[in-house]
Copies of this chain bind each other. A is one copy, B any other.
């Protein structure tokens, strides 16, 4: 399990999510309260969109709570759209290549969750990558793989939301084919620099937490309420609401659209049901 936060709105210094709130992401790296694990000290990363199409990324294997670079960057970078993530490693080892967010071209992706039986599935899922994206595989995480699989569908014309949902359906179908009973749990954020799409979905009705907060400034999604900086006053903890199960939240400038995805299929899909999903890629 990991902790994550993302923002889209009026330009904001990254420290407003990462460092200043009482329960900031740096704080959550040391002491999270809603995850299965308290400590998210296996690396971290930030990604932000600025003047160029491609976002900037800073990823490091150190714990976030003590990283002077992260603090300095968050105090001096402001962005209208940025990601932050602190990692508790479940698969893939400690390496920058396994830290979120992952970047490819103008896309950023970060993830909190797990694919049940990933070690068993990895080979088949990697084989589904098109050549160009197969060659982009740098680390060994399920998260990077889900991102690349989603990108394959995006490159083929799918929307970000549809691409990710198809990958999840596809992965769950494979899990069922292989008799894996562990769940697929998925909280994630994907962006192309214009839209931010957030997901909270699981195969067992226990998706990782994901909260939404909307202010005049903009929209924030986060694994846990950030309990806001003291400057915002007493009622700062207010305003956070949990996204419902199956949530697919699409945020763009001035808009925020919530759609609920049908529960991930618990029975093996028929070939017919699977075919359209595959056809998309």
Contacts and interface: CB of A to CB of B under 8 A. Distances in A.
Given A63-B63, A140-B137, A58 B72 contact: yes
21 contacts: A30-B39, A30-B41, A39-B39, A48-B76, A50-B78, A51-B76, A54-B75, A56-B73, A56-B75, A56-B76, A56-B77, A57-B69, A58-B58, A58-B73, A59-B68, A62-B94, A67-B94, A93-B138, A95-B139, A119-B135, A138-B140
A96 interface: yes
Interface of A: 30-31, 38-39, 41-42, 48, 50-52, 54-63, 65-69, 72-73, 75-78, 89, 93-97, 103, 119-120, 122-123, 126-127, 131, 134-135, 137-140
Contacts of A55: 76
Contacts of A48: 76
A173 to B, nearest CB: 20
Nearest to A94: B66
A140 B97 contact: yes
